[in-house]
Chain A
Amino acid sequence: MEYYPLFAFGIANLPMLGWLAAAAAPVVIHLLSRRRYAEVSWAAMEYLLAAVKKQRRRLRFEQWLLLAVRTLIVVLLVLAVAEPYFQRTGPAPAGAGRIHRVLVLDGSFSMAYRPTDRSRFEQAKQLAGELVEESRRGDAFTLVLMASPPAVVIGAPAMEPGEVLGEIDRLKCTDTTIDGPATVDKVRRIVQNARRENPGLGRHEVYFLTDLQRVGWEPNKTSEPRGLSPRRTLPQDKPGGLLNTATIAVIDLGQPDAENLAVADLSTLDPVATLAADVRFEVCLKNFGRKARNNQPIELLIDRRRVARKHIDIAAGEERSVEFTYRFDTPGDHIVEVRADGDALPTDNRRFMVVPVRESLRVLCIDGRPSGEPFGGAADYLAAALSPAGDSNRQTSVQVDLAPESALIERDLGQYDCVFICNVAQFTAGEARVMDAYLGAGGNVVFFLGEAVTAQRYNRRLYDTSDDTHILPARLGEIVPAGVYHIDPMEYRHPIVRAFRGREKAGLSAVPIFRYFKLTVPKDSGAMVVLKTTQGDPLIVEASVGRGRVVLVGASADVSWTPLPLWPSFVPLVQEMLAFCAGGELRQRNVAVGEPIVASVPSAVADLSASVHCPDGRTQPVTIHTDGDCSTLSFDGTTVGGIYTVRLGEPIERAWNFAANIDTTESNLARITIDQLRRDLWPEVVLLKISEPPDLSWDKAWRGDKPHGSLVFSEQQPGMSIAQPARLHVYLLYVVLGLLLTETCLAWRYGYNTP
């Protein structure tokens, strides 16, 4: 230990000290009284002068004494209002009663930082263990792991040190960030319950063993970590908060200038991976340290095997992207991993991705008006665009099945990545249920409309349904009068049309549309408008339904309402539509740490068992929830980054891989300052800084063999404690009261208050 604020003195209400200027008031009043006086002509002057001469020194002394007392009264009163406190750590005083200690270990992944051979988390565990061992008989412990969400390991005060030590030993660092508000709330409840249910515990002490990382501890400021909801930050302690019920000690395990490089992101530029095309991976690295990292190696591993390695220079604070290309040669789930090793925090040096690779995408095109003529049916152009002759497109290899509308019932939709429905007049309730189940299991449906479509029946079956089969992202209205309309690309913001950005010559906005259904998108429905007509009417709308996606196109897929199928922009538009829909599976397979893993399972099998094998070696059973025709399993224990394997038991015997990646906002090892912690959060906190891991020991720390070790444990009285903060203002007020009485007595004695 290098720093022991064993005696902490502070001011809870610092701005009140401004009133110390009022201490000048007695002096000012005295001086003013010398300027404002009565005048008297006096006959017995000789005797007055004699009295003045004789008493001059005594009078001066009395005046100074009274002035000093009055000034001191003001100073002490202001100090009392400012609520100074004094706190010390050290041996628990004799007769202090039993102590309840809440041990809160920071389990965020920054605690995996290894300044030496031991990580911060290992140091925290050691200190916590020694704190338990050094305690006196009868002291009680509770244990909380500070993570997101925080885990209460021991919720009720445990008196048996062996059990507590065992739990501490079993603690593992998570790959999550810390949820400060939730942790503080849990600790507050633990303390409140302990006070209520264990009145014999005379004192409650909360020890936060943490690296004081700014992103977790900074109060009342919001940051926006990527991909997650806004981070909740610690609220300032309020009346009734933790400070009022317990004494808080923050044990600082952090290092001031910790260097760190993180793989901030790993993504594919191609939403669907097939054997037919190369897949491009983009890796984003960020240097959070203060030193440049030159010739930093970055490795790409596919299925645990290194397939590529690059070196880059990255300056301090810089964020750089690196692109890798790889063509898969076997279908199925492939595990992609990127590594950028070389710093003391290994957790964020790796990032994972599960890429489901297919030989080809399977698409079902349902033609509502099939024709024997080439390109006479409603879906002929679409089928050609999805799988152009020669299949030389680089994105996907698509296998298209063209079928009449009866295929909705007759075929197993689960074998298709996407179903395109073109100009089908109406749907039965059974067809709507099939589509709903298909979407719930992660399937995708694209609707093209046409003359045969009956808007009223579409709305009744797929939009205004009494049950929950709400499939369409927009309500169908009237067919607009025949005319020449054009497309408003809406700045190509939506992913489906983003490929057209900068390629205006593809002619998407120049395509004439003669007729289309007027679509109405309800507000706050979550549906997104992909394209509009120049009249302002939505033309293509998409939304998530179940675990799949639905795209609704207001125009036809044939040339009856628009020549778009004949234009060059039709093929990329349809291909992007398919990629957008089929790419949903990639998103579902890759989650952030803390997010649940959700997978669809066949609902036909009863008593199906499932388990999840976690990256840290745990295997946990998972329950399957069945809802109608759709069964899903959900696992919310993604506390560490890596690959999670979901296995279904007999008779299916199937496995999926999922990747969970850490939130790299925690990679920024910048720390909150002690002053800020005291000023904004807990003004009365005791802070112990630990920076020399070889010296990690309460025993060594307190025994006084260090220059600052002014507190020494008594051999006869083991056990250390944080003294309750001495609220000095009460004593100050007593002193003020005493001084007021003294002032009154002195003034009376000296004749200043003579009646």
Chain B
Amino acid sequence: MENSQNYLDPKVLARLEGLSLRARLIVEGYASGVHRSPFHGFSIEFAEHREYVPGDDLRYLDWKVLGRTDKYHLKQFEEETNLDCYLLLDTSESMQYKSAEAALSKLEYAKCVGAALAYLVLKQQDSVGLATFDREVRALVRPGSKASHIKQIINVMEESVGGRKTAVGPIFHELAERFTRRGIVVVLSDLFDDVESMLAGLKHFRHRRHEVVLMHVLDPAELDFPFRRTTMFRGLEELPEVLVEPGPLRKAYLDQFGAYVHRLKQGCRMHRIDYVQMRTDQSLEVALSSYLASRR
């Protein structure tokens, strides 16, 4: 049996069959490392006190009790299922790209991340929903909080095969209209589309008072451009092909790509959107924790 934390490694995950298994192992692996769930509901119904243990959130420390008794007690509330998490999974053709350096395609990686998040959310009795899309919404699973809901989400994810062109901006507008209840929108996409259009869509979510988390899934080759030999690059999503000498072009490509990412990040910052860049050769722990840890 592998150590549970090993399942955060994409190479190990790639050897596993079934998204459900992958998601459970990711969460177990992650949870064993942090011991605490990153998702918290918010409630006003006080339930009881309990003694502080190291690692507990000091926000819930009862200062009055501390003043009176000089003892550390936390206030505990009656938990409510009041968090809706919307997972938006890009299944376009570009998401199928997988370089030699990566163990998983961007779509597989995004599915793993999405499933793991869904697993985590449901474990806290919150609701999680899913929408898959390319240039239109391909599948939509309404948020649910039952334990069995994970199966439906995973099934939809597993049945999602990419192969079409992306049109992210209009999709975001459409989904923003559909997601009426306030919640967290987690976008899992390579975001290869017009930046302004995408940001406009994301802004729409913000307008609906959703929290938006943009998980930008990228292949290491797209970030590093490691090609040496003369290469014919055949464009996905109906883009043309081009024969180039990669070496001399690398810097120019990285400049172009960097500018695109920069614009994206800048837009996210402007609209208070959380931007998380995920490399598909990166451990999922790094990918998840870099975001989720900031949400505690």
Contact = CB atoms under 8 A, between A and B. Distances in A.
Interface of A: 33-34, 36-52, 54-55, 59, 62-63, 750-754
Q: A37, A43, A45 — which one has the most chain B CB atoms within 10 A of its CB?
A: A43
Nearest to B257: A47
Interface in B144-177: none
A43 B192 contact: yes
Contact of A44 (B192, B228, B232): B192
Contact of A751 (B94, B236, B243, B251): B251
A45 B219 CA distance: 13
A448 B186 CA distance: 139
A42 B249 CA distance: 15
A54 B252 contact: yes
B253 A51 contact: yes
A750 B227 CA distance: 14
A46 B192 contact: yes
Contacts of B250: 751, 754
A44 B233 CA distance: 10
B239 A47 contact: no
B235 interface: yes
Contacts of B232: 37-40
B33 to A, nearest CB: 31
Interface string B207-241: 00000000000010010000111111111110110
B256 A47 contact: yes
Interface string B238-277: 0110111101111111011100100000000000000000
Contacts of B248: 55, 59, 62-63, 750-752
Given A44-B222, A46-B192, A754 B236 contact: no
B97 interface: yes
A41 B236 contact: yes
A3 B272 CA distance: 90
Nearest to B230: A37
19 contacts: A34-B230, A37-B243, A39-B232, A41-B233, A41-B234, A42-B97, A42-B234, A43-B192, A44-B222, A45-B239, A46-B192, A47-B253, A51-B256, A54-B256, A750-B248, A751-B247, A751-B249, A751-B251, A753-B247
A43 B249 contact: no
A751 B253 CA distance: 12
Given A52-B242, A59-B245, A59-B249, A42 B233 contact: yes
B285 interface: no
A48 B231 contact: no
B190 interface: yes
Contact of B231 (A37, A51, A54, A55): A37
A41 B97 CA distance: 7
B97 A43 contact: yes
Contacts of B228: 754
A63 B227 CA distance: 18
B251 A38 contact: no
Contacts of A37: 229-232, 243
B102 to A, nearest CB: 12
A679 B255 CA distance: 60
Contact of B230 (A33, A46, A47, A50): A33
Contacts of B190: 43
Given A46-B192, A48-B233, A750-B248, 7 more contacts: A33-B230, A36-B230, A39-B232, A45-B235, A49-B242, A51-B253, A54-B256
B227 A48 contact: no
Nearest to A39: B232
Interface string B50-86: 0000000000000000000000000000000000000
Contacts of B94: 43-44
Contacts of B251: 751
Contacts of A45: 233, 235-237, 239-240, 242
A79 B10 CA distance: 57
Contacts of A41: 97, 233-234, 236
A363 B240 CA distance: 119
A33 B230 CA distance: 7
Contacts of A63: 245, 248
A520 B252 CA distance: 102
Contacts of B229: 37-38
Given A40-B231, A40-B232, A42-B236, A47 B260 contact: yes
B234 A51 contact: no
A62 B244 CA distance: 13
A40 to B, nearest CB: 5
B253 A48 contact: yes
Contacts of A50: 256
Contacts of B234: 39-42
A48 B97 contact: no
Q: A48, A55, A59 — which one has the most chain B CB atoms within 10 A of its CB?
A: A48
Given A44-B192, A44-B257, A62-B248, A38 B242 contact: no
A752 B256 contact: no
B167 to A, nearest CB: 14
B97 A52 contact: no
Contacts of A43: 93-95, 97, 106, 190, 192, 219, 222, 236-237
A160 B192 CA distance: 93
